[in-house]
Structure 1
């Protein structure tokens, strides 16, 4: 038999370390070749580590949440043959030698036997018997009342705290007669409400994607002075156009949602205000203004918030944007999104769909300088100058980096998007 060492592989270009987010095995498990042993994460991309050989797990190197350097040993396997990696062999004698000195463990056994005669002595010393026989007085909190199991069960079903019951048996033991007397007094019987305080505290370690989200949000809020601008949009005409296009779409075309229209409106608005499509390096005091519009779409997944990116939205039409959004949404939901799909955004859209609320205050996706928040759509009565008419209304709640974007520029940008969404034919006008 030999030992096989699995090291953390190179999980991406330029990546020097990865966070261990999941173990699929434990020490002693038998594994087969290609069986998934662990999962690590870097830059929000999760990578599974398969076993290259059959064997038995001898050692796991790291705890969930630990950051491990590329090339570090993470698993040792016992395998048929000589195994590999001489560095692993010194560990083998250490394991073989430790079990051999086990005869020394035979000596403690007589000591355990010697301890056994003392156990009968403990009941004889039974301190509770000498404890104050507080007959007629309630027990102090923390004192355990003496009662047989049947009495305890009866008291529990009746919602009675046995510390309030006077015990007349030996050493203050509570009997069924004591319970009967307690019930007969009536006034002292507690009212059973079925409600009880819950004093439990559950510790949840912040690891993996949740930790990366926390770190990024902390950086965004501590570095970026946010300004949030909210505007109301009448999307009645847009919804009518969307329904018309979906009704006439080809079989190979995706169903249109609001997002592709918003993306195309953003592309047109950015062409007039390119400073909104930028990343701010606050360490170097340099603004990187991008020509390509790479729109991040904040998406909630079972693992947490991720932001897949529609690259070069300026080069995609309405249907192209819709198809890419669908592809990225599926990859994010199933956890198969690649690092390339999750990085490189220059401006972000965030939406909670029907739960979008009336107003939100989105946090900018650092180091970007703007984020567009979509609130829920509602049919509301709107005064047209002569009467109230039903219109489909929606708010955009958008945040901007006030170090880079002035309030006036933010307002001009959102007003341009408003015009395009309220008159959707303009989205298709070139120039």
Structure 2
């Protein structure tokens, strides 16, 4: 009797995910712990493994579908001798069982080399499959123009030589429609939740980073020997981490269900990374206990993993504060959105040589704006200002 493969509780308060792609097709023989499906959550991509050795009978959740924890993804027929294991899985269907997404070799689970879909070794939704069946089109020979090689209804009708009905976008029109899904949809939902639930307040200040830049120049030779690139971000992160120790109200979150402010004992600083397919926020653990070189090495590792799509769920979970460093891109300053449920986020901007007054004289200095968004339910303006003053002081004194 087939058992259900359900979307498990992967931890970190994740309640749902989006099916990205199937790594096997219907009818495929699988072994216990073989990865079956890739699911995108608001933390990371995870692969859901098979709970038993057997055969994938039916795929129930198509790519692009949102599934909640506990909902079925597929039916698996256990192999002979797997009855005991199947009984155990049926009794505990929601066991937390997932692994970080790894790079998938082309053609894995599909002899044709195409990314496998809901059945037949191709990526196509049930609606598209029905259209193909009605028109007598073999999906196995249809090139997909959708994301990840997915076959669209337009692809099927084009292959059948029939007219594309109104409502299906054509590549010959003056616009392009991109599916609002995947990481972009996850980001949008989180941003809307943050702005509608959290009363944001903004505080802006500036820091003289002239001494910091001189310190960075000194450390670059050490960084070259250590094999790590020294940027501005580890210096800012060290200043922020030290300030968080002195101002714990900013290193906190709000548990709305229990109506409690949670003051974090660890300083785990997230950093916003533009990963190409959307924003991700990997976390540097124990940032207050690391040197500039150690921070630079960890920042480099996490940034590379974010852009390659190989971050583990643990790299993205449990941050206590977030830094968004947008200076390399440009812009005067921004109003960053808080990475809920954290209490605040700091944005660091581009460095500009500006005239400032020092000891009664106008001199050129390297200046940088800092903008702090904070949750006014948790943090008052005075506490936020004292924290930002501390960050500025640490940056300007190069006390790092």
Q: Taking structure 2 as the reference length, what is the TM-score of the superposition?
A: 0.66
Contact 1:27 1:58 in 2 (8 A): no
- C-alpha spacing 1:7/1:310, structure 2 compared with 1 (3 Å): same
Report whether the alignment pairs 1:48 with 2:22. Answer: no
Report whether the alignment pairs 1:376 with 2:376. Answer: no
**CA offsets 1:330-352 (integer angstroms, 9 cap, x no match):** 22222222222211111111122
5 Å matches for 1:222-241? 222-241=196-215
Greater shift after overlay, 299-308 or 250-259? 250-259
Q: 1:22 aligns with which of 14, 20, 23?
A: 20
Report whether the alignment pairs 1:265 with 2:239. Answer: yes
Contact 1:253 1:319 in 2 (8 A): no
Instruction: Structure 1: give runs of 5+ residues left out of the alignment.
Output: 87-196
The alpha-carbon deviation at position 54 of structure 1 amounts to: 9.2
Contact 1:299 1:305 in 2 (8 A): yes
Contact 2:8 2:69 in 1 (8 A): no
In structure 2, C-alpha distance between the alignment counterparts of 1:421 and 1:251, rounded to whole Å? 25
The alpha-carbon deviation at position 17 of structure 1 amounts to: 5.8
Contact 1:309 1:341 in 2 (8 A): yes
| Bigger radius of gyration | 1
The alpha-carbon deviation at position 244 of structure 1 amounts to: 0.6
The alpha-carbon deviation at position 210 of structure 1 amounts to: 2.5
Report whether the alignment pairs 1:204 with 2:179. Answer: yes
Contact 1:43 1:339 in 2 (8 A): no
- C-alpha spacing 1:248/1:324, structure 2 compared with 1 (3 Å): closer
The alpha-carbon deviation at position 62 of structure 1 amounts to: 1.4
Contact 1:280 1:288 in 2 (8 A): yes
Contact 2:21 2:39 in 1 (8 A): no
- C-alpha spacing 1:31/1:356, structure 2 compared with 1 (3 Å): farther
In structure 1, C-alpha distance between the alignment counterparts of 2:280 and 2:270, rounded to whole Å? 9
Q: Taking structure 1 as the reference length, what is the TM-score of the superposition?
A: 0.62
Greater helix content: 1
The alpha-carbon deviation at position 390 of structure 1 amounts to: 3.3
5 Å matches for 1:379-398? 379-384=353-358, 388-398=362-372
- C-alpha spacing 1:397/1:315, structure 2 compared with 1 (3 Å): same
Aligned to 2:293: 319
The alpha-carbon deviation at position 381 of structure 1 amounts to: 3.7
In structure 1, C-alpha distance between the alignment counterparts of 2:395 and 2:192, rounded to whole Å? 33
Report whether the alignment pairs 1:405 with 2:399. Answer: no
**CA offsets 1:208-248 (integer angstroms, 9 cap, x no match):** 33233222212211122111111121111110110111123
Report whether the alignment pairs 1:288 with 2:262. Answer: yes
The alpha-carbon deviation at position 363 of structure 1 amounts to: 0.7
Aligned to 2:274: 300
Contact 2:24 2:37 in 1 (8 A): no
In structure 1, C-alpha distance between the alignment counterparts of 2:81 and 2:267, rounded to whole Å? 55
Q: How many residues align?
A: 311
Aligned to 2:127: none
Q: CA RMSD in A?
A: 3.5
The alpha-carbon deviation at position 53 of structure 1 amounts to: 7.1
5 Å matches for 1:410-421? 410-421=384-395
- C-alpha spacing 1:25/1:249, structure 2 compared with 1 (3 Å): closer
- C-alpha spacing 1:334/1:54, structure 2 compared with 1 (3 Å): farther
